[in-house]
Amino acid sequence: MKELEGNVAVITGAGQGIGRDIALALGDHGVDVAVIDVNLATAGETVAMLKEKGRDGLALKCNIVDYEEVQECFREILGWREQIHILVNNAGITRDNLLLRMGEDEWKSVIDVNLTGTFNVTKVATKHMFKKRYGRVINIASVIGQMGNAGQSNYGASKAGIIGFTKSVAREFAPRNVTVNAIAPGFIETAMTAVLPEEVREGMRRMIPLGKFGTGADVANVVLFLSSGLGSYVTGQVINCDGGMVMA
């Protein structure tokens, strides 16, 4: 996708996992990436990988729950590059527990990072997209926000909130040529799923019509579509990347 060459993307939680896969996929198509993560060392590793591909990157440590910290982060990004073309809100955490055992801190921390963090970053980033009358905002939700899961009421609520947030903001931003969409991954091969007992993995696999876990690259491919001209007429949508787990 040569049309993406020279674009600038900001990705939260891109120090590892799906966020890193998205950063590297965009880098393969000529995009320079600001990598935001709470762990500066892993963010730096992602930037080093981008530079090996001949792209530029900027590693930033940021707590996206802190609005002032997010503002400072974007001041640095705009000092590095003059425009932000693509925003991927990928950062997220889990604190799983059954509802009757869930502590207030387990509820609040997940809502704060996953939902409020998405609000903070989107609010700051899109001010600059508005001025340029162009932008692509992609929020990473989850099938759990659509179907629920025992022990994940906090996570499910945060991801369902992202879906509602996406649809509402898409309506606000459309007149400025800023599209806003969400991707809902299903079971993706990560460090967390790799250590699960095989019987648990097999049970999860049976829930997937395609019969296999997805990869970070699968999610990144949807990001590429939504970031490019191929997805220019798509906004306010939730695209499931789940092997068929959820069929509406």
Contact between 119 and 89 under an 8 Å Cβ cutoff? The reply is: no
Contact between 107 and 57 under an 8 Å Cβ cutoff? The reply is: no
Q: Does residue 1 surpass a pLDDT of 80?
A: no
Contact between 113 and 36 under an 8 Å Cβ cutoff? The reply is: no
Reported confidence tier of residue 43, pLDDT bands at 50, 70, 90: very high
| pTM, two decimal places | 0.96
CA–CA–CA angle 154, 155, 156 (5° rounding)? 95
Average pLDDT over residues 23-37: 98
Q: For 224-248, write each residue's pLDDT tens digit.
A: 999 999 999 999 999 999 999 999 7
pLDDT confidence of residue 190: 83
Q: Does residue 150 surpass a pLDDT of 80?
A: yes
Average pLDDT over residues 121-127: 97
Close Cβ partners of 207 (under 8 Å, ≥ 6 residues apart): 187, 245
Q: Does residue 193 surpass a pLDDT of 80?
A: no
pLDDT over 90, % of the chain: 93
Give me the active site residues, please: 155
* Separation of alpha carbons 156 and 181, rounded Å: 18
Q: Which residue has 């400025």 as its token pair?
A: 176
| One-letter amino acid of 96 | D
